[in-house]
Structure 1
Amino acid sequence: MKLDILVIAAHPDDAELGCSGTIAAHIAKGYKVGIVDLTAGEMGTRGTPELRIEEANKAAEILGLSARENMGFKDIFFQDNQEHQLELIKIIRKYQPDIVLANAVTDRHPDHGKGSDLATNSCFMSGLRRIET
């Protein structure tokens, strides 16, 4: 399924906290929007991974997302490396978004910057035909 906008977020709730207004406004205009969470947020001090997934699913329903996926990368330990890039490239190619939103480049939480770098590099690499996934 082709998406107009793909939000790539380090943790469940990052997209909602960072750009839910943008997401809701574009869905209201008929855009197809999806969110990909890189991790389950299992290292977070509030809630549990199960609760975060439950909340992410409810948020997807409320917002009217066309897609929501979780990559299952290890919270705090994922990297902008070949292994993680190849997995994210598959997702970007699957949805072929026109616009990609990601976490801030710099932020207090180290996963946010890493997630942003991973999203940026994977977006570029997804257009390279010689990278096989």
Structure 2
Amino acid sequence: MDSYNFPQVTQLAIPFFVVAILVELWLVRTGRARGSFETRDTLTSLMMGTGNVVAGLLLGVVSYWALLWLWQFRVFDLGLSVWVFLAAFLLDDLRYYVYHRIAHRVRWVWAEHVNHHSSQHYNLSTALRQSWTGLFTFM
């Protein structure tokens, strides 16, 4: 398999996301923006996000090795053109849209997704409320 050096997008995004949460908190606390933060709720969101990352690392190893094994059976390689990246981006966005629709309509998947909607406050930290069990729902 060819090795490509892609930027670690998540590692680059985390500092910006943390800064955005802190800016939002400051704007709300100083009255410059509407909203609310509760320390326990925000800490719960942070712990759920951390748990999601840990679960993803532990359970993602299985997917990673399975995909590496399947790679040997590929029929063709599309390469790394701009069009491939654009198509992959659009297909992944469509995949997530379909997953999210299913997550709101199928009880089995809703059980995995509901924690994302469990906060009493709607702020940026709520986005961290991600499931630890996506692998078990096959989503």
Coarse TM-score class (shorter-chain normalised): under 0.3
> More relative contact order in 1 or in 2 (CA 8 Å, sep 6+)?
2
The alignment's TM-score, normalised by the length of structure 2, stands at 0.27
**Max Rg structure:** 2
Which one has a larger percent strand, Structure 1 or Structure 2?
Answer: 1
TM-score of the pair, normalised by structure 1: 0.28
